[in-house]
Structure 1
Amino acid sequence: MKKLTGILLASAAVLLTACGPSNDTSSTETAASAQPRKVVVGLDDNFPPMGFRDEKNELVGFDIDLAREATKRLGMEVEFKAIDWSAKEAELNGKRVDVLWNGLTITEERKKNINFTKPYMANHQIIVVAANSPIQAKADLSGKVVGAQEGSSAVDAIKKEAEVFESFKELKTFGDNVTALLDLSAGRLDAVVLDEVVGRYLAEKREGEYRVLDDNFGTEDYGVGVRLDDDELRAQLDKTLDEMKQDGSAARIATKWFGADITK
């Protein structure tokens, strides 16, 4: 009887083992890798035309469209999260967002904390004044109150030109460029320094109100930022953005927002 019981127990153990979880780690890893990865994109949601809210309060813009297309091709779910742009590096490295994608300028200082993709667009830091302003060049900013977005590369570009910067009466910083331009319209600022793609877009929307000077504070490149240790995601984005440039989809998105292909 004991012998028969032992045989029955052994058979049950074999059956349970066959029906239990597989030890095939490769199949488990394949299944896991097939699942879409969610990527949280951090952005300034008042940075038209790169990323902003439309009349329905929905996020739209060039970088929004570009990010949607890239993550779609990578089989990733994407979530857009508005953040305090002046705290963008803390948001990224605190893992509250996975990517910074919103007209993010590549600088040597930022490279210490951010892993950048290859540049996808070139930009200038332009000077915008009121249409009737007597200011014609950077030299005319002496003794003037100049505005820029806090934590933006515009502030860095201005401070690089120490002689010009030190000639200002004051450099005032704002949470976003739209607010800075409103202060310019109200006469509380004499000029605003901001990204060309943003400045020209907003100036066109308010035709006859602003004027862009021929002088600027230099040329820079936009890139997508990920965490320093996230080389895999950076490489995937580089490859996908290259493919989008080659097949014309990046040009199509640029033409939608800028009227021409200004991708790099």
Structure 2
Amino acid sequence: MAQSTFAARRHLAVGAVVLAGALALTGCGNAESKDAASNEKAATAEAATSATAEQSGDSTEKKELIVGYDNTFVPMGFEENGETKGFDVDLAKAAEAKTGLKFKFQNIDWSMKETELNTGKIDAIWNGYSITPERLKQVAATEPYMENAQLVLVLKDSPIKTLDDLKGKTIASQASSVAAETLVADKELAATLPGGGPQLYDTFDKALRDLEVGRADAVIGDSVLLRYYAKQKGGDQFREVGTMGDKDEFVIAVRQNDKALLDKLNGFLKEAKADGTLDTITKKWFN
């Protein structure tokens, strides 16, 4: 009889433990379900906000704006030791402080920059972007914030002394850059080049490396980049030949229907010029 009572009590105790465990698991499951539902709801809300922003053309409604850039374009925007830095990156940080917008720089294929912008993969092109009449057909541009020119750079001991000496030489540049377009526009010179135009690379640093090892006779590119690169290398192994085409200007590009973002960026640039922010960042990167 005592054994039967003990067995019954034991079964009851085990049952209580099992029931408590089941209730605990149910509680955890409910908590996890609530968390999952909450996360899904937040993600859905964020996606809806982004979709609404894209449909309305107002990307300022987004929590974070994606900026397309070439992460080798020194000193405007580049990656070094895992950190994104540069003139345009500092300018964007100043814009965050003054406008409340948030920017995230994302490396892109520079030859696809306008496509990335107009398909909504990025919200702005902000990386030493020179504006041209052709580009204005695809994007809306802010007021300019820096002057630029297309510079021809050679090694110090190169026989190339003038722009006329470029005929028949191998000239390197970045694909879909204003520099490459400027060279091609000089039809007389372009006709003399191997292949009828510049030797194209996906980034300027690759073009410059080929200049250094002798696979190219000259590089044509943005003056801010080539001069910064030469200075970082010590400056005494390169020589400037001259500039080609007209002077151009850097702007921030957004989608043509994104008027709210364009207005905010223009307002920021106007303030940055007036209060010395632009001068401070310029001195930091160009001394």
Structure 1, residues 190-224: CA drift from partner, whole Å, max 9, x if none? 00000000000001111222111134333111100
Structure 1 unaligned spans of 5+:
1-33, 260-264
Q: Secondary structure at the match of 1:95?
A: coil
Q: Distance in 1 between matches of 2:76 and 2:167?
A: 31
- Does the Cα contact within 8 Å between 2:149 and 2:243 map onto a contact in 1? no
Task: Give the 5 Å matches for 1:79-158.
Answer: 79-158=104-183
Q: Distance in 1 between matches of 2:61 and 2:227?
A: 41
Q: Distance in 2 between matches of 1:232 and 1:76?
A: 12
Aligned to 1:244: 272
Distance 1:169 1:178, change over 3 A: same
Q: Secondary structure at the match of 2:116?
A: helix
Task: Give the 5 Å matches for 1:30-41.
Answer: 37-41=63-67
Work out which of the residue numbers 249, 255, 260 in structure 1 matches 2:283: 255
Q: Distance in 1 between matches of 2:98 and 2:124?
A: 16
Aligned to 1:201: 228
Q: Secondary structure at the match of 1:119?
A: coil
Q: Distance in 2 between matches of 1:172 and 1:103?
A: 21
Q: In the TM superposition, what is the alpha-carbon distance from 1:154 to its structure 2 partner?
A: 0.5
Q: Which amino acid in the other structure matches residue 249 of structure 1?
A: T
- Does the Cα contact within 8 Å between 1:118 and 1:238 map onto a contact in 2? yes
TM-score, normalization: structure 2?
0.76
Aligned to 1:163: 188
- Does the Cα contact within 8 Å between 2:64 and 2:104 map onto a contact in 1? yes
Q: In the TM superposition, what is the alpha-carbon distance from 1:89 to its structure 2 partner?
A: 0.7
Work out which of the residue numbers 257, 262, 265 in structure 2 matches 1:234: 262
- Does the Cα contact within 8 Å between 2:163 and 2:242 map onto a contact in 1? no
Q: In the TM superposition, what is the alpha-carbon distance from 1:36 to its structure 2 partner?
A: 7.0
Q: Which amino acid in the other structure matches residue 167 of structure 1?
A: T
Q: In the TM superposition, what is the alpha-carbon distance from 1:155 to its structure 2 partner?
A: 1.0
Aligned to 1:6: none
Q: Distance in 1 between matches of 2:243 and 2:192?
A: 16
Q: Secondary structure at the match of 1:107?
A: coil
Q: Which amino acid in the other structure matches residue 196 of structure 1?
A: S
Aligned to 1:217: 245
Amino-acid identity (%): 37
Structure with the greater alpha carbon radius of gyration:
2
Task: Give the 5 Å matches for 1:30-69.
Answer: 37-54=63-80, 56-69=81-94
Q: Which amino acid in the other structure matches residue 121 of structure 1?
A: M
Q: In the TM superposition, what is the alpha-carbon distance from 1:231 to its structure 2 partner?
A: 1.1
Structure 2 unaligned spans of 5+:
1-59
Structure 1, residues 228-262: CA drift from partner, whole Å, max 9, x if none? 10011111100111101100011000100001xxx
Higher helix content, 1 or 2? 2
Q: Name the count of aligned residue pairs.
A: 226
Q: Distance in 2 between matches of 1:131 and 1:206?
A: 13
Q: Distance in 2 between matches of 1:161 and 1:36?
A: 43
TM-score, normalization: structure 1?
0.82
